[in-house]
Amino acid sequence: MLNAVNNEREIWVFSEHARGKLRAVTEELLHEARELSAGAWIVCAVSVSANRDIIEQLATAGAERIYCADSPTFNDWAPVPCADFVIGLARKRNPEIILFGGTDIGRDIAPRVASALRTGLTANCSSLRLGRYIDNNGRQFDDVLLQIRPVIGRLSATIVTPESRPQMTTVREGALRRKNNVAKGRGEIVQVAIGNTSPALQCKVISDIPAEEKPNLVGAERIVAGGMGMGEAQGFKLLHELAEAIGGQVGATRPAVDAGFTDHSRQIGQTGLTVRPRLYIACGISGAAQHTTGMSESETIIAINSDPTAPIFEMADYKIIGDVRRVIPALISALRRKGT
Ligand SMILES: Cc1cc2nc3c(=O)[nH]c(=O)nc-3n(C[C@H](O)[C@H](O)[C@H](O)COP(=O)(O)OP(=O)(O)OC[C@H]3O[C@@H](n4cnc5c(N)ncnc54)[C@H](O)[C@@H]3O)c2cc1C
288 lines ligand 1 (CB under 6 A): yes
Q: Name the DSSP letter for residue 25.
A: H
172 lines ligand 1 (CB under 6 A): no
The pLDDT of residue 159 = 96
The pLDDT of residue 252 = 98
> Domains of the chain: which residue ranges?
10-201, 211-338
Neighbouring CB atoms inside 10 A of 210's CB total 7
Compute the distance from residue 285 Cα to the ligand 1 centre, in Å: 5
Task: Tell which one of 234, 254, 319, 325 to mutate to probe ligand 1, the residue whose CB is within 8 A of the most ligand atoms.
Answer: 254
Compute the distance from residue 229 Cα to the ligand 1 centre, in Å: 8
- Which conformational region is residue 247 in: left (phi greater than 0), alpha (psi within -120 to 50 degrees), or beta? left
147 lines ligand 1 (CB under 6 A): no
262 lines ligand 1 (CB under 6 A): no
Tell me how far apart the alpha carbons of residues 253 and 337 are, in angstroms, rounded to a whole number.
30
307 lines ligand 1 (CB under 6 A): yes
Looking at the structure, give the CATH architecture of the domain made up of residues 10-201.
3-Layer(aba) Sandwich (3.40)
Tell me how far apart the alpha carbons of residues 270 and 172 are, in angstroms, rounded to a whole number.
10
The pLDDT of residue 202 = 57
Beta strands (DSSP E) in 126-278 are 127-134, 140-150, 156-159, 167-171, 188-191, 222-226, 249-252
Divide the 340 residues of the chain into consecutive groups of 10 and give the mean pLDDT of each group.
63 95 95 93 96 97 96 89 95 97 94 97 94 95 93 83 96 85 92 70 55 75 97 95 95 96 92 92 96 93 98 97 97 85
pTM: 0.72
Judge whether 224 and 246 are in contact, CB under 8 Å. Answer: yes
Neighbouring CB atoms inside 10 A of 194's CB total 16
225 lines ligand 1 (CB under 6 A): no
The pLDDT of residue 5 = 46
> What residues have CB less than 8 Å from 66, skipping those under 6 apart?
15, 44, 45, 46, 47, 55, 58, 59, 187, 188, 189, 190
Residues facing residue 303 across a β-bridge? 282, 319
Type of residue at 288: A
Judge whether 144 and 132 are in contact, CB under 8 Å. Answer: yes
Residue nearest to atom 30 of ligand 1 (CA): 228
Compute the distance from residue 53 Cα to the ligand 1 centre, in Å: 43
235 lines ligand 1 (CB under 6 A): no
Looking at the structure, give the CATH architecture of the domain made up of residues 211-338.
3-Layer(aba) Sandwich (3.40)
Compute the distance from residue 255 Cα to the ligand 1 centre, in Å: 6
Topology agreement, domain 10-201 and domain 211-338: yes
Distant-in-sequence contacts of 273-276, Cβ < 8 A, 24+ apart? 273/172, 273/173, 273/174, 273/217, 273/218, 274/126, 274/172, 274/173, 274/174, 274/175, 274/218, 275/174, 275/217, 275/218, 275/220, 275/223, 275/251, 276/174
Task: Tell which one of 253, 258, 325 to mutate to probe ligand 1, the residue whose CB is within 8 A of the most ligand atoms.
Answer: 253
Type of residue at 189: I
310 lines ligand 1 (CB under 6 A): yes
Residue ranges in the chain assigned as alpha helix (H): 24-37, 52-60, 79-93, 104-116, 233-246, 254-258, 289-292, 312-315, 324-338
The pLDDT of residue 209 = 52
The pLDDT of residue 219 = 85
Atom number in ligand 1 closest to CA 286: 49
Tell me how far apart the alpha carbons of residues 66 and 306 are, in angstroms, rounded to a whole number.
54
Tell me how far apart the alpha carbons of residues 266 and 257 are, in angstroms, rounded to a whole number.
8
Compute the distance from residue 209 Cα to the ligand 1 centre, in Å: 25
Task: Tell which one of 270, 275, 321, 328 to mutate to probe ligand 1, the residue whose CB is within 8 A of the most ligand atoms.
Answer: 270
255 lines ligand 1 (CB under 6 A): yes
284 lines ligand 1 (CB under 6 A): yes
290 lines ligand 1 (CB under 6 A): yes
238 lines ligand 1 (CB under 6 A): no
The pLDDT of residue 336 = 87
Tell me how far apart the alpha carbons of residues 116 and 113 are, in angstroms, rounded to a whole number.
5
Closest C-alpha to 254, from 211, 285, 208: 285
